[in-house]
Chain A
């Protein structure tokens, strides 16, 4: 199964400062009480936004942002895919951070939300830039592993296979996993607890 190929993500960017921002904060559990992902976008960071009226996701200057700038271990905690779904439905197409939790990154990949990493210094500089001038446009290129930010270009990291999956449109794994399904059956038949002890 082939999906949309993703190379460039261009647009304005929204900064959310802080390490270890967990998925309960990105989308509180009460919004998981639904049988679809519809409407999650409007509740992204809801409790943080109530607690802090100056939250970037409440700031009209960042409306329409396509890139999210974060610090370390973003998306830790609960495995809820609702977190990347909420960000994506709000309009985010790529997250640029110092690091991401593993489950968050896997969930993001599975729904075609790009996550790339870079150094603390670069993140800080990009955050400063868009805090000072929210209309600044950034252009992420997976192909070049870089972000153009005004008159400077910074490099970003992304695992080669993940980059390939986005570039080739194979980030939705279901098709790959179902390819030549007899091989899966073969594994099932050799596993002792299925074959029988």
Chain B
């Protein structure tokens, strides 16, 4: 019986079995940002411990930064204090850091792959649950908390429980207007928001094999929304072509040698899985969430579930009451106030292109505030280079600087009151977008753009030029 990528990478990186029953896992790449690290550095200082491998840790700033006026000091003194702490910590411990003035800055899960830092066969850790994103390149990437950030800084390793592997095979062709976001919303809907607890999700099948790295990043990103701490795609030719020439990827002959190792760590064709799920790509439609967890979604052609029906995710009545929606009604026609294209899920160049395709030559509905927040400076420059910023501006979208922005509203971008937001982000939790009573409808970037134009939820498939 063959081995999975998870098993191969796990075995290679296991330092020892700890007395706690957990494995001590060596971490090849540690990414840090301003929100989950200041206390970790303070703990190091108070214990008199240094950073073990400063050259395996990279920092950037993304969560709290304004996406409009980024001049320092920030108007928000708390945000200023957080960025100042990260600057000081990176300087003190010799950690490479891409600050706001760097053309490498961006959302940590966008820049890792983009710079070629994330590579197949690596273990990656970051104090952020969406670290699962990096699995799109065939890495085993783990979201951790602040005490574990401290542990990685101190020892370049983590104490962690073993994971089972569920292969999710998505086979067939996706229809037009159906994107990676819809695939992962379908998966979470079907398997549940806690279906992945204890598992790593291995995504495969012909639909995933045909996907670009950007699309795979979107799928792996939301593994955690399905309860799976880790999600990955086996590295293949698409992966190798993506990495070639990137700043931190191996170059020349070393690249060729790397490719042969990368091939070897992919799951064997006869690998042993703890579970296998098959999904028909052709049956997936554009999806929209109607509730307060990411499992509560419907196909855009469907009706919102009624209380008592479709209760597989539980809490339907609580969700409908919070959302102000009525069970049994169509999701299309739900009025929106805000449209947000951005977040580590969907803020890459291909996402902006798909949204731009819908926005081009159209206008945002008068009652809607719409913003586009690129995932990184590099995405921002590339989009501006091809005139996407102008397409969005002409349509009435605001074009912003890179950051996490309204996904979690730790910066000035946030919902007010009970606003309804069509959002390309990853979480529709109560209060997630900054207003305790704000409401979030998750969907693909193209669906967000279509909703911005229509002023309400609409099927993007009716909006292609």
Select from chain A the residue with minimum beta-carbon distance to B313: A20
Q: Tell me, rounded to whole Å, the shortest Cβ–Cβ distance linking A58 to chain B.
A: 14
Inter-chain contact total with CB atoms closer than 8 Å: 220
Chain-B contact segment, one of A7-15, A105-113, A132-140, A141-149: A105-113
Given known contacts A24-B427, A73-B194, A194-B28, A184 and B157 CB-to-CB distance under 8 angstroms: yes
Return the CB mask of B1-42 against A: 1 if under 8 Å, else 0.
000000000001111101111101010100000011011001
Q: Which of B15, B143, B147 contacts A183 (CB 8 A)?
A: B15
Asked if B145 is an interface residue, CB under 8 A from chain A, the answer is: yes
Given known contacts A193-B121, A197-B250, A177 and B13 CB-to-CB distance under 8 angstroms: no
* Residue with the greatest number of chain B CB neighbours at <10 A, chosen from A79, A106, A110: A79
Select from chain B the residue with minimum beta-carbon distance to A82: B146
Q: Chain B interface residue count: which class?
A: 35 or more
Contacts of B431 in A (CB 8 A): 24-25, 28, 47
Return the CB mask of B126-166 against A: 1 if under 8 Å, else 0.
01110100000000000111111011001111111100000
Asked if A89 is an interface residue, CB under 8 A from chain B, the answer is: no
Q: Which of A171, A178, A197 contacts B257 (CB 8 A)?
A: A197
Select from chain A the residue with minimum beta-carbon distance to B120: A193
Q: Which of B292-306 contact A (CB under 8 A)?
A: 293
Asked if A102 is an interface residue, CB under 8 A from chain B, the answer is: yes
A18-B318 in contact (CB<8A): yes
Q: Which of B78, B129, B143 contacts A33 (CB 8 A)?
A: B78
Bound complex: CA A176 to CA B158 (Å): 10
Given known contacts A24-B431, A24-B432, A33-B410, A160 and B21 CB-to-CB distance under 8 angstroms: yes
The number of chain A residues with a CB under 8 A from chain B is 64
Return the CB mask of A29-72 against B: 1 if under 8 Å, else 0.
11011111100000000011011000000000000000000001
Contacts of A36 in B (CB 8 A): 38-39, 42
Asked if B254 is an interface residue, CB under 8 A from chain A, the answer is: yes
Asked if A91 is an interface residue, CB under 8 A from chain B, the answer is: no
Contacts of A24 in B (CB 8 A): 408, 427, 429-432
A50-B436 in contact (CB<8A): yes
Asked if B51 is an interface residue, CB under 8 A from chain A, the answer is: no
Q: Which of A81-110 contact B (CB under 8 A)?
A: 81-82, 84, 99, 101-103, 106-107, 110
Q: Would you list the 7 A-B pairs with minimal beta carbon distance, nearest first? A: A161-B21, A81-B145, A107-B145, A110-B147, A47-B436, A35-B38, A177-B155
Interface CB pairs A-B, < 8 A, 21: A20-B194, A22-B429, A24-B408, A30-B410, A30-B434, A35-B81, A73-B197, A76-B193, A78-B128, A81-B146, A81-B147, A99-B197, A106-B160, A161-B19, A161-B20, A173-B20, A176-B24, A181-B155, A191-B12, A193-B121, A193-B122
